[in-house]
A and B are shown apart, each in its own frame.
Chain A
Amino acid sequence: MRAGLASRARTRALVAAACACVALAAPSTAGAHASLQTANPGSGRTLSAAPQTLELAFSEDVIRRYARVSVLGAHGEDLAGPPRVAGGVVEVPLRPGRRGSYTVRWRMVSSDDGHASAGAYSFGVQVKPQAPVPVKGLTVPVAPQLLAWLQFLGVVLAGGLLTVRALVWAPARRVLGDESAPDATAAIAAAVVGAVLALHAGTIGFLVGAYLVIGGGFTGFEHAAIEPIRAGTHAGQAWTATTFAWLGVLALLVAAWVTPARRETLLACAGISGLAAAFGLSWASHPSSRGTLALVADYAHVLASALWVGGLVALVLLARAARSLPPARREAITRACVLRVSALAAPAVAVVGAGGVYLALRELPDPSALVSSHYGITLLAKTGVALGAVALGGYHRRFVVPRLAAGTPVATLRATLALELGILLAVLALAAVLSQSAPPG
């Protein structure tokens, strides 16, 4: 009786608290720093002729002495004249400009609180605007390449690993009889690490990219207006979408952890969501500016790579987790999974190769760029190391897998499997370097 009363009182209290969420009224807004309210030409606009003036309107009055505005063309030429300030409106006369994309970079100090704020955006004259160009000579303490590598790892661990597990484990279970997967906990832990890495490396990577564009030192950047870069660039759009995608992946992983009865289904959903999140990497990459086909090729290249590397990680985790099983069971499970991963790896490697060749042809203006540009040399190095992994995979498929199918112990595969995985992680590192290098021409 008392339990029932307490329960009803609790329900009523929860309903009352939830009702508080509903009654949201609609008055006006207030501001803090001098944030950019409107701009003419605005962010992402394409104009038919070069503008003669630039007008920026801020939420608060700004100090004329500290107002800085530059309007940079593709070759670094600054079209901006001295800014004229009237309250919160800054008007900048512009020198005549040509067809092309222009980066507007501004820095203001509010006359109310004395705080500096900064921002950048781009507009185009007769062309679609490019992303704002980075400030020359600016360095950051975090290598963007490392952040890109961590994002690749996240896609491999959350997307590739879990998707391959779903493709491998369910059929193996049908063959071996209904049994819970011994590697499920390890796979969840690895996927959580991957999703957390991807989520945070993506956020830091976006901030590093924005800092390089806005400039002005860390203190000024703390109050920088980030919105034009988030909404107006592929990198920002990709970050916005992938942040929510990775949160969804994490929620699915938590649900899989606490719901053993539906674990495999939830893990499969998390894996597919992780692969979907990988589209953000392609959307923010160079090929996305080269048309839909290049974007699709890049995404296919990333997906197939994630499945290839994720499959190897899945096998390593399975081999470790299966140690606790009786030898005969362990051998049967591992053999069934190795044979299926091997069957999936071959088409994945083919897609990786085809996508890579197509993208190289699109990005390199001529064959000599392979040895005369930083991008080309990195691409050569990546291809060389990847061919080593392909050769090892071919050895597995040609010699080891038939022996396993004939009954040879799985342990013979362990050393070369770890070597193949190590090589592929190095390939991912080179891919990260490549993703942060500008293609020649």
Chain B
Amino acid sequence: MILPHLQIARAHWVLGALFLAILIEEYVPLMGSDGRPVRSRSLFVPWGLMIGAVGVWATTVFADVVHDMLVHTLWGDILFAAGALELARRRGVYERPWLDSVLPLAFVCWGSLFVIHVVMEPAAVGGGWHLAMGLLLIAGGILEVVRLQLRRAPRIPLAALPLTGFALALIVIPVSQAT
């Protein structure tokens, strides 16, 4: 079985929707009983990341060319590691200050892999979009890292803009490119 481009596009669509849900869960403000914003402890985000990792590894297994396999292998690894660390943090099993940076750094890594994907195959279908989406992820990740360093962070982080743009692009573009 080879995954035709349309199936791969559909997989991207599902991943885009999953990513959008993760963003909403992570960045829509949640108020505690005292009216102050609190960080979500929902397990949706980490399990979403790990399910996404299995989906990306499935692309590795069913990819029809080698360079797709290589890129998606790294992608899956980063998704899975980020999901596992987030899960441990939200369950209170493993809490360290640096864990706050896991998601933003994961965004930067995924963005970099998008760019590498384009560099490895510049003439591929949707190469320009891949590049733009990679840059959106990198921008979102960096903005989020900067926000974490600020004492008075805005209630809705600026990083949500490029990251939402990325999620919507992931939903819309692959299918339109493949049809």
Contacts and interface: CB of A to CB of B under 8 A. Distances in A.
Contact of A223 (B58, B67, B83, B171): B67
B93 A18 contact: no
A224 B65 contact: yes
Given A2-B31, A30-B125, A35 B14 contact: no
Contact of A10 (B2, B28, B65, B124): B28
B29 interface: yes
Nearest to B40: A10
Interface stretch (B16-24, B96-104, B129-137, B140-148): B16-24
Given A222-B120, A227-B1, A9 B28 contact: yes
A258 B30 contact: no
B66 A226 contact: yes
B60 A18 contact: no
Interface of A is mostly: helix
Contacts of B64: 35, 225-227
Interface stretch (A96-104, A247-255, A380-388, A425-433): A247-255
Interface residues of B, number: 55
A296 B1 CA distance: 27
Given A17-B24, A29-B6, A240-B61, A115 B123 contact: yes
Contacts of A240: 61
B164 to A, nearest CB: 11
Interface of B is mostly: helix
Contacts of A26: 6
B30 to A, nearest CB: 5
Contacts of B53: 247
A3 interface: yes
B93 A203 contact: no
Contact of B179 (A28, A222, A227, A258): A28
Contact of B66 (A30, A200, A224): A224
Interface residues of A, number: 51
Given A29-B4, A223-B66, A243-B61, A258 B54 contact: no
B80 to A, nearest CB: 7
B33 interface: yes
B35 A17 contact: no
Nearest to A17: B21
B118 interface: no
A223 B65 contact: yes
A258 B93 contact: yes
9 contacts: A3-B33, A13-B21, A13-B28, A17-B18, A28-B6, A223-B67, A247-B53, A258-B88, A260-B93
Interface of A: 2-3, 6-7, 9-10, 13-14, 17-18, 20-21, 24-33, 35, 113, 115, 117, 200, 203, 207, 210, 221-227, 230-231, 239-240, 243-244, 247, 250-251, 254, 257-260
